[in-house]
Amino acid sequence: MKRRLTSFLSKIQILSQFDASLEKLAQRKEDSIVNSIVEYIQKHQSSFIEELKEFLRIPSISASKAHREDCRRAAQWLMARFQSMGFENSLHETAGNPVVLAQYKAGEGKPTLLIYGHYDVQPADPEDLWLTPPFEPSIQYGKIFARGATDDKGQIYTHIKAAEAHLKIRGSLPVNLIFLIEGEEEIASNNLEKFIRENKDKLRADAAVISDGSQFALDAPAICYGLRGICVEEIRVEGAGWDLHSGSFGGATPNPLNEMCAIVAKLKDAKGKITIPGFYDDVAPLEPWEKKAFAELPWDDESFCCELKLPGLFGEEGYSTIERKWARPTLDVNGIFGGYEGEGSKTIIPAWGGAKITMRLVPHQNPKKISALFREYVQEIAPPHIRILFAPHSGCGPVAFPRSAPFMAEAENAIQNAFGKPPVFIREGGSIPIVLTMKEELGLHTLLLGWGQPDDGAHSPNERFHLQDFERGIAASAWLMELCGKK
């Protein structure tokens, strides 16, 4: 009986050894496929870059009505890419620029990733500060320079090329993919929420993926678990019905520009604190683990200051630079205008002036509530001898995800495999309105996997994207599809 049992057990052992080697064999085959995919990605870099250049040449500036047709061209360019890869794709009209939706069904039971990006870009001005024209991509120092290079054309394209690599080598995809690429991210994604609400069935997924940010630093890839929100305001301050001669009327009539400056100046105090009553009421304080983690990140204020050619740093008293950038709300004038801006002088009291102001918000501030507080305060501090008008408000709420969110671990491993080191966990100061919408409307957590660098110059002249990050981004995306498919 004992021998029989031994023999039986040894048979099981042999069988299980056999199973193990079968598994190993499968694993080796899988490994060899992934290796081939990565090889394919490496081998085709130069053609990928040429394609990206095509994309970057389209001046798809969403803020300017004059570029409406260019935005459509960018959407159509993407449609053609998906078409050639065998995706089901469709162009969806909105009240603004169209949304590109492209889908690949790998099979029932496989997880689904919803990859979001945007084909619109920021305006290129001030154009005279660009060393090469913003819409004529050029490669220098291992980087590709163009408006949209890192934000977001270059980054969204990494996922498209990762899918292509899987399809070329494996003939199929390990996960179901939905690409959702919009054209109004740079103007607050005002039409996307409606689109998502009306197309929930087409957007069912297990997690969302966005690459529209940056790594923590060179050779410090990151996963971002929190974003600031934004509250967008614009004030117009009016005095007389028309510009007045500053000699004949100066001293006796209010000057809207002086008054506008006084109003803006009263929005923050000398310690960098925003003075709008109630502004900080809903701000979640930093968790102790976050304060510790942020403090442990490699950071040097002096180099930061020097790199940006700043005369000095300035921010809210009592917080570190990283805390100020990621986890504290802000109030910034993005543009100011009024009166004579040309050469020389024009001695007028201008009829009006305007200021574009955005406030970055952190959990759990609400943009609509902040907008109301802002307007109430501005009205309160505005003197009776001027008129204040407000442009329509837009905004989006802040967001933060737990470390246990779906596919967070797979993203960590994918980055480890592609970049050769584990990611750090960070928050970001920018806003990606879609992240909140996907959470609220689709119940999705988002993997925020920025492949760019903090100094890529997003929104600035000479925007750029490291070609190495472009390649590693494609590889990391390919790995992510691979690892999620195994779960």
Which of positions 319-338 make contact with its own copies (CB under 8 A)?
321-322, 324-325, 328-338
Rg (the chain; Cα; Å): 26
Q: Choose the binding region for its own copies from 160-168, 192-200, 339-347, 418-426 (rule: CB under 8 A).
A: 339-347
Q: Is 45 exposed, middle or buried (0-12, 13-18, 19+ CB in 10 A)?
A: middle
Contact call for residue 127 and its own copies (CB under 8 A): no
457 vs 485, beta carbon nearer its own copies: 457
Q: How far is the CB of 115 from its own copies (least distance, A)?
A: 21
Q: How far is the CB of 174 from its own copies (least distance, A)?
A: 33
Q: Number of C-alpha atoms within 13 angstroms, CB side, residue 325?
A: 13
Site residues for its own copies, 436-455, by CB under 8 A, read 454
CA gap 183, 180 in Å, rounded: 10
Helix (H) or strand (E) holding 117: strand 112-118
Check if 185 is active-site.
yes
Q: How far is the CB of 328 from its own copies (least distance, A)?
A: 5
Q: Is 51 exposed, middle or buried (0-12, 13-18, 19+ CB in 10 A)?
A: middle
Q: How far is the CB of 345 from its own copies (least distance, A)?
A: 5
Site residues for its own copies, 224-283, by CB under 8 A, read 228, 230, 232, 234, 238-255, 257-258, 260-262, 264-268, 270, 272
Instruction: Region of 238 please: left (phi>0), alpha (psi -120 to 50) or beta.
Output: beta
89 vs 191, beta carbon nearer its own copies: 191
Handedness of CA 277, 282, 287, 288 (dihedral sign): positive
Active-site residue among 151, 152, 184, 185? 185
Site residues for its own copies, 181-200, by CB under 8 A, read 186-188
266 vs 439, beta carbon nearer its own copies: 266
Site residues for its own copies, 12-51, by CB under 8 A, read none
Spatial CA neighbour of 399 closest among 208, 148, 268, 159? 208
Q: How many residues bind its own copies (CB under 8 A)?
A: 106
13 vs 334, beta carbon nearer its own copies: 334
Contact call for residue 434 and its own copies (CB under 8 A): no
Site residues for its own copies, 56-85, by CB under 8 A, read 62-65
Q: How far is the CB of 64 from its own copies (least distance, A)?
A: 6
Site residues for its own copies, 376-395, by CB under 8 A, read 383-387, 394
Contact call for residue 298 and its own copies (CB under 8 A): no
Helix (H) or strand (E) holding 389: strand 387-390
Contact call for residue 300 and its own copies (CB under 8 A): no
Maximum distance among all alpha carbons in the chain? 118
Check if 108 is active-site.
no
CA gap 460, 105 in Å, rounded: 38
Helical segments of 44-121, H only: 45-56, 68-84
Q: How far is the CB of 449 from its own copies (least distance, A)?
A: 16
Q: How far is the CB of 482 from its own copies (least distance, A)?
A: 30
Contact call for residue 356 and its own copies (CB under 8 A): yes
CA gap 278, 263 in Å, rounded: 18
DSSP 18-57: HHHHHHHHHHHHHHHHHHHHHHHHHHTHHHHHHHHHHHHT
Q: Which residues are catalytic?
A: 120, 185
